[in-house]
Structure 1
Amino acid sequence: MSYLPDCCGGKESASVLFPSCTVRYDVHPFYSSVNASGAKPTPLVPPPPGKSQISSPTLIAIVASISVSAVLFAIRYFFLSKRAKTKDMTSQ
């Protein structure tokens, strides 16, 4: 926050991006307070406590892809280590 006066002093709007922080300000609203139909948008309601935001199909897809990746990694490791042992035996 101490960098804002030096980089953004007197400007109507700015975005400051750092690896651990993003700051945006504007003297005019940079979001829409009315949707296309002219009605005010309904406020976002946070999910009830303890309720996961990830759907079951998404969770299944994530777990399945991680499992398949782990199995493929183990198979590749097995074959590469077997090849290295075979190569060592033939060179002796």
Structure 2
Amino acid sequence: PKSVTAPIGMGISESLGGIVTLTVACIIATGIIGSVFGEVLLKIFGIKKAMAKGIALGCASHAMGTARALEIGDVEGAMASLAMAVMGLLTVIGAGIFANFI
């Protein structure tokens, strides 16, 4: 669960029997990489719509991406925070369902 916030990722990792410290390290690395390179990648791929930028940053790089999206613009920040929340909810639900198949 690397693309959710640290508290959610820690809970999922612990409940699935994962290594919590490794999970947190991956979550932090994902957030840093996404916030540093996210805007550049959006420009390279020609993403121009504010909503799409926010959703991409919020889903891919959670809280740090949301903070970066808010620096880009208000719409981007709002969409990033919504996307981060939805992504966290879907990850918790999905992890609970798919854990039974492992």
**TM-score, structure 1 as length reference:** 0.29
**Which structure has the bigger radius of gyration?**
1
In terms of fraction of residues, the more helix-rich structure is 2
In terms of fraction of residues, the more strand-rich structure is 1
